[in-house]
A and B are shown apart, each in its own frame.
Chain A
Amino acid sequence: DTGVSQDPRHKITKRGQNVTFRCDPISEHNRLYWYRQTLGQGPEFLTYFQNEAQLEKSRLLSDRFSAERPKGSFSTLEIQRTEQGDSAMYLCASSTTGTSDYEQYFGPGTRLTVT
């Protein structure tokens, strides 16, 4: 098991462009979370999936953001018409329901820079 992976690790884009990030969770994990971390802050919850269903979205997730998890496996997070305020580290985590449903494993993150 290689853990949670994210791609790309770094993304530089110009304001107004669209970007998409991918997260591959640990294979047997049915929950997948997205968090955003800005400089000097702790991660903030964006959204989470249980299998393919998106069950909760934070108010931080504006209508320019969309996340999917087709077939309950990998997930994508798309940001349309990027703004400089979107510059942050985007972290993905996964967990499994059951006796350890409180323990989340994080990927290395995707650092987005909007110029």
Chain B
Amino acid sequence: AQSVTQLGSHVSVSEGALVLLRCNYSSSVPPYLFWYVQYPNQGLQLLLKYTSAATLVKGINGFEAEFKKSETSFHLTKPSAHMSDAAEYFCAVSTTGTASKLTFGTGTRLQVTL
């Protein structure tokens, strides 16, 4: 079985500050890991993915994440927050043995203040 835990349901940062959204996973086999962003009343957009290549993954909109096997983590970061980053962020895991179905965390709502 696979699972994802996102620490912090709400994170608030000032515009220009570092964004750090935490994700820890559990998987009995090597995982594929994803971060998705969801704006209100919209579907999910893929930010970035880890698929067993480079452990530091760069995505869209200046986001990046680092896969750390020893810590079973895949935290999402962005050096400087922008107002347009305010949204819900979901971490997800899948494995090759599960036909790529995604198991999502409960999400972290990012608020960006002036």
Contacts and interface: CB of A to CB of B under 8 A. Distances in A.
A111 B51 CA distance: 31
Contacts of A105: 46
Contact of A56 (B43, B49, B90, B99): B99
Nearest to A10: B41
Nearest to B32: A102
Interface residues of B, number: 24
A104 B103 contact: no
Contact of B99 (A4, A48, A91, A111): A48
Interface in B97-113: 99-107
A48 B94 CA distance: 14
Contacts of A33: 101-102
Contacts, number: 60
B42 to A, nearest CB: 6
Contacts of B103: 45
Say what secondary structure dominates the interface of chain A: strand
Q: Would you list the 9 A-B pairs with minimal beta carbon distance, nearest first?
A: A42-B104, A106-B43, A106-B44, A108-B43, A102-B32, A45-B101, A102-B100, A109-B43, A43-B104
16 contacts: A33-B101, A35-B102, A41-B107, A42-B92, A42-B105, A42-B106, A42-B107, A45-B103, A48-B99, A48-B101, A55-B99, A103-B46, A104-B100, A106-B43, A106-B44, A107-B43
Interface of B: 4, 32, 36, 41-46, 49, 51, 90, 92, 94, 96, 99-107
